[in-house]
Amino acid sequence: MAVDRLRNLLEQAFPGSEVDVQDRTGGGDHFQVTVASARFDGLPLLEQHRLVNDALAEPLRDGTIHELRITTRGTE
Amino acid sequence: MSELREQIQGVIENEPVALFMKGTPQFAMCGNSERALRALREAGAPVTAVDILPDPAIRQELTSLSGWPTIPQVFVKGELIGGADIVEELAATGELEQKLATALGPDYRESRAEHVVGVA
* pLDDT tens sequence across B63-114: 999 999 999 999 999 999 999 999 999 999 999 999 999 999 999 998 767 8
Q: Average pLDDT for residues B29-38, to the nearest whole number?
A: 95
Q: Does any CB of chain A come closer than 8 Å to the CB of residue B56?
A: no
Q: Would you say A49 and B85 are in contact if contact means Cβ atoms under 8 Å apart?
A: yes
Q: Average pLDDT for residues A2-10, to the nearest whole number?
A: 97
Q: Average pLDDT for residues A16-34, to the nearest whole number?
A: 95
What was the pLDDT predicted at B108?
A: 93
Q: Average pLDDT for residues B3-14, to the nearest whole number?
A: 97
CA distance A6 to chain B (A): 16
Residues in a beta bridge with A23:
A31
**B32 with A69: Cβ contact below 8 A:** yes
Give the one of A45, A46, A60 whose C-beta lies nearest to B70's C-beta. Answer: A60
How many helices and strands (H and E) does chain A possess? 3, 3
What was the pLDDT predicted at B18?
A: 98
Chain A CA closest to residue B84: A69
Would the CA dihedral through B48, B88, B80, B64 be positive or negative? Answer: negative
Per 3-state DSSP, chain B is made up of helix, strand and coil in percentages (nearest 5) of: 50, 20, 30
* pLDDT tens sequence across A33-74: 999 999 999 999 999 999 999 999 999 999 999 999 999 999
Q: Does any CB of chain B come closer than 8 Å to the CB of residue A68?
A: yes
Nearest to A19 by CA among A68, A67, A53, A52: A52
pLDDT at A13 over 80: yes
Mutual angle of helices B95-104 and B84-93, in 10-degree steps: 90
pLDDT at B1 over 80: no
| A75 sits in which H/E element | none
* pLDDT tens sequence across B39-72: 999 999 999 999 999 999 999 999 999 999 999 9
| B107 sits in which H/E element | none
ipTM score: 0.88
**B69 with A53: Cβ contact below 8 A:** yes
To the question of pTM greater than 0.80 for the whole model, the response is yes
Alpha carbon distance A49, A62 (integer Å): 19
Q: Does any CB of chain B come closer than 8 Å to the CB of residue A75?
A: no
Nearest to B64 by CA among B9, B15, B24, B105: B9
pLDDT at B38 over 80: yes
Domains of chain A and CATH, by start? 2-73 (3.30.300.90)
One-letter amino acid at A23 equals: D
Chain B CA closest to residue A31: B32
Q: Does any CB of chain B come closer than 8 Å to the CB of residue A67?
A: yes
Q: Does any CB of chain B come closer than 8 Å to the CB of residue A53?
A: yes
Domains of chain B and CATH, by start? 3-116 (3.40.30.10)
